[in-house]
């Protein structure tokens, strides 16, 4: 196995692990926790008995200057804070709720319904509108979290490219 192949396996594993941890967090990504997990994963290159350590030790033995460059670049990898995705707004819930209530009120008044039916129609369609609004809000929050995860994934991919460029020197 080449140094490049070994590194690619390790980096893919690290990236997949961090992304799965981000998915576990639900809609809100805690950069501090992810950075801590990244630091733990980077330490594996220094821990005897770990695959990453054995790989780096082999690189050190065969190409000490490349190994040094790799280690410097590896320990410099840091995720930059990504601005939260689109802000969710209570208007996504309130708008459909108020709209449903207005339609309910208008329809029951148009039909000259009794006060009780007007109240039931207004509240009923308002509740349905609120349900629609909550669904829209959840969709928007999920899309925002995915956008944030993708931004961190892109940062990890860029760091991987930088490290890979160093590692490729050893396989020449």
pLDDT in tens, 88-126: 566 655 777 677 777 777 777 777 767 777 777 778 877
For 134, the token pair is 């909550």
- pLDDT in the model for residue 5: 94
For 45, the token pair is 């290159």
- pLDDT in the model for residue 93: 59
- pLDDT in the model for residue 89: 60
- pLDDT in the model for residue 78: 93
- Give the global pTM: 0.72
For 160, the token pair is 């991987």
Between the alpha carbon of residue 103 and those of residues 108, 122, 130, 154, 161, the distances in Å are 8, 7, 13, 46, 56
- Residue ranges in the chain modelled with pLDDT below 50: none
Q: How far apart are CA 149 and CA 152, in angstroms?
A: 5
- pLDDT in the model for residue 73: 96
**6-11: which pairs have CB atoms within 8 A and are 24 or more residues apart?**
6/55, 7/55, 7/163, 7/164, 7/167, 8/164, 10/51, 10/52, 10/55, 11/160, 11/163, 11/164
Domain ranges of the chain: 3-85+149-171, 91-140
Between the alpha carbon of residue 17 and those of residues 69, 155, 167, the distances in Å are 25, 15, 22
């Amino acid at each position: 196995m080449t140094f490049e192949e070994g590194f690619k396996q390790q980096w893919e594993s690290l990236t997949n692990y961090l992304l799965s941890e981000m998915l576990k967090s639900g809609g809100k990504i805690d950069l501090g926790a992810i950075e801590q997990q990244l630091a733990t994963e980077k330490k594996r290159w220094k821990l005897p008995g770990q695959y990453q350590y054995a790989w780096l030790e082999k690189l050190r033995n065969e190409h000490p200057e490349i190994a040094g460059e790799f280690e410097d670049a590896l320990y410099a990898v840091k995720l930059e804070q990504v601005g939260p995705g689109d802000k969710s707004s209570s208007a996504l819930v309130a708008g459909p709720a108020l709209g449903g209530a207005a339609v309910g009120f208008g329809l029951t008044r148009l039909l000259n319904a009794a006060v009780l039916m007007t109240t039931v129609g207004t509240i009923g369609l308002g509740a349905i509108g609120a349900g629609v609004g909550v669904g829209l809000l959840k969709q928007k929050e999920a899309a925002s979290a995915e956008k944030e995860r993708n931004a961190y994934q892109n940062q990890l991919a860029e760091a991987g490219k930088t490290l890979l460029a160093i590692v490729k020197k050893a396989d020449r």
